[in-house]
Amino acid sequence: MSVRFVIDPIEFVNNASVHRDKIALRELMRLRDVLFSDEGALNYQIRGHVDSNGRPSLKVSIKGDVSLICQRCLNSLVHEVAIENDLYLAKNNAEFDRVNENNSIDAILAVPELDVIDLIEEEIILSLPISPSHGDNQCDPYQSGLNKSSVDNASQSTNPFLALAVLKKTN
Ligand SMILES: [Zn+2]
């Protein structure tokens, strides 16, 4: 059901190919796990080129908003994705390891069938904050799972954790 887009990365570089498209968040199975909502889409572009040092590379741009889960209040936290990354195409594992020792270069293995959507998803996941949260005092107090008064009003809440907390209290 999900959309796949496979390229031969070296051929992509040799042809100086460019591909741009939109990817629906609901297609990105691994990313969905950390999202508050999988509504919406991201724009991406992938361009094959030889960088200023003569290295075959894929330039990846990804833009759009995703809705993460705030680790304080478990509500939606809008996060802007704005990725511009140049990925060096390593010919084999030895080259990949050698290049990765240099922290200023991101490398990927130039496998003959590179799944672009997988790559895009990986880049997005790597770019996300490890523990996303609203700023201090920016969480919505009426929906916060940590807020005492909202536990008392849990009958009006749809948060299953709050409902559970009330259940434990009454027993
Ligand atoms: Zn929050």
User: What is the predicted pLDDT for the residue at 57?
Assistant: 97
**Percent of the chain at pLDDT exceeding 70:** 80
Average pLDDT of the residues of the chain: 85
Q: 12: which 2 tokens?
A: 């992509």
- Tell whether the model's pLDDT for residue 34 goes beyond 80: yes
| 69 alpha carbon – ligand 1 mean position (Å) | 8
| DSSP code string of 30-70 | HHHTTEEE--SEEEEEEEEEE-TTS-EEEEEEEEEEEEEE-
Burial of 40 (0-12, 13-18, 19+ CB in 10 A): middle
| 45 alpha carbon – ligand 1 mean position (Å) | 32
Residues with CB under 5 A from ligand 1 (ion): 70, 72-73, 134, 139
User: What is the predicted pLDDT for the residue at 53?
Assistant: 85
pLDDT tens, residue by residue, 109-142: 999 999 999 999 999 999 999 999 999 888 976 5
**Percent of the chain at pLDDT exceeding 90:** 68
The candidate with the shortest Cα–Cα distance to 86, out of 167, 6, 9, 2, is 9
User: What is the predicted pLDDT for the residue at 99?
Assistant: 86
| 59 alpha carbon – ligand 1 mean position (Å) | 34
User: What is the predicted pLDDT for the residue at 168?
Assistant: 57
User: What is the predicted pLDDT for the residue at 2?
Assistant: 57
Burial of 69 (0-12, 13-18, 19+ CB in 10 A): middle
**CA 80: distance to chain centroid?**
10
* Cα angle: 114, vertex 119, 120; to 5 degrees: 135
- Tell whether the model's pLDDT for residue 44 goes beyond 50: yes
User: What is the predicted pLDDT for the residue at 40?
Assistant: 95
| 129 alpha carbon – ligand 1 mean position (Å) | 14
Give me the residue label for tokens 């939606």.
76
Going along the chain, which residue ranges are E strands?
6-7, 18-24, 35-37, 41-50, 56-69, 76-90, 106-109, 114-115
- Tell whether the model's pLDDT for residue 156 goes beyond 50: no
Own/partner pairs, 39-43, CB within 8 angstroms, 24+ separation: 39/67, 40/64, 40/65, 40/66, 40/67, 42/66, 42/81, 42/120, 42/124
- Tell whether the model's pLDDT for residue 85 goes beyond 70: yes
Alpha-carbon distance of 70 to 118, in angstroms, equals: 25
pLDDT, average across residues 14-40: 96
Minimum mean pLDDT range among 11-20, 115-124, 138-147: 138-147
| 3 alpha carbon – ligand 1 mean position (Å) | 33
pTM: 0.78
User: What is the predicted pLDDT for the residue at 165?
Assistant: 56
Alpha-carbon distance of 87 to 162, in angstroms, equals: 45
- Tell whether the model's pLDDT for residue 152 goes beyond 60: no
